[in-house]
Amino acid sequence: MSDLPEPIPAATLVLMRARAKGPPELLVTERTGNMAFAAGALVFPGGRIDADDHNTAEAFGTDAATIAAIRETIEETGLAFGLTPAPDAMTVEAVREGLADEQPFTALLAARGLAIDPAALIPFARWCPNFRETRRFDTLFFLAEAPADAPEPRISEHEAVRAFWASAADVLGELEARRAHAIFPTRRNLERLARFASFEEARADAERHPVTKIVPWVEEREGAPHVCIPEGIGYPVISEPLETARRR
């Protein structure tokens, strides 16, 4: 019988912003150092699926994971994507303040004539690591395209110390230089995303690889234990030595 904690349903939004030259940028946050999970790590905006997300999903005819990904991005970065019509900055801030006051997301949207556009979010991955962490998450990752003139994020200070736009390659460079760290699923997703020169390429890749639940495992490879994931599901790197997977 497993003594692992039950996984908490969660959702994450990978926002991609085109730029004039070079690969697209991603919206990334750095978590505060006192978080119970992934303290100080670079992550994409997201979090657990709340009970009210199910109510909002029912109201707008979509699923709770989509709602959670949109809501958490608003809460953590002050940026709203997946809403229609696209709200202005003042409206987004009003919704964000309402969420901070624990007002229902459904009511906040309805009061401002906003609806959810579920087609704006594209299922990309599902990760459910079985590492012995205090908290364990079963997380759906979504892709969404941000306009080239998407504004700079504004952090929620109790959750993040910074938020920024950067290419996947640049973020990986920060990780390799040990100027930042990320958990195993984030690194693998960054490696996958670094291959794409545009949002269209990322979307096409997501369509080629139906979302499957990824549960990493540990096995001996090249004389050392490695954390592994399956082949053929879209990831260019499918194993990493356990020693570095834990350290980074």
pTM, two decimals, is 0.93
Place of tokens 């959810």: 116
Residues 8-215: name the CATH superfamily. Nucleoside Triphosphate Pyrophosphohydrolase (3.90.79.10)
CA–CA separation, 189 and 116 (whole Å): 26
At residue 66, the pLDDT reads: 98
Amino acid at 87: P
pLDDT tens over the chain, length 248 residues:
356 778 999 999 999 999 888 899 999 998 765 655 655 789 999 999 999 999 999 999 999 999 999 999 999 999 999 999 999 999 999 999 999 999 999 999 999 999 999 999 999 999 998 876 667 899 999 999 999 888 899 987 777 788 999 999 999 999 999 898 899 999 999 999 999 999 999 999 999 999 999 999 999 998 899 999 999 999 999 999 988 876 55
Dihedral angle sign, alpha carbons of residues 35, 37, 38, 42 = negative
Domain boundaries of the chain, sorted by first residue: 8-215
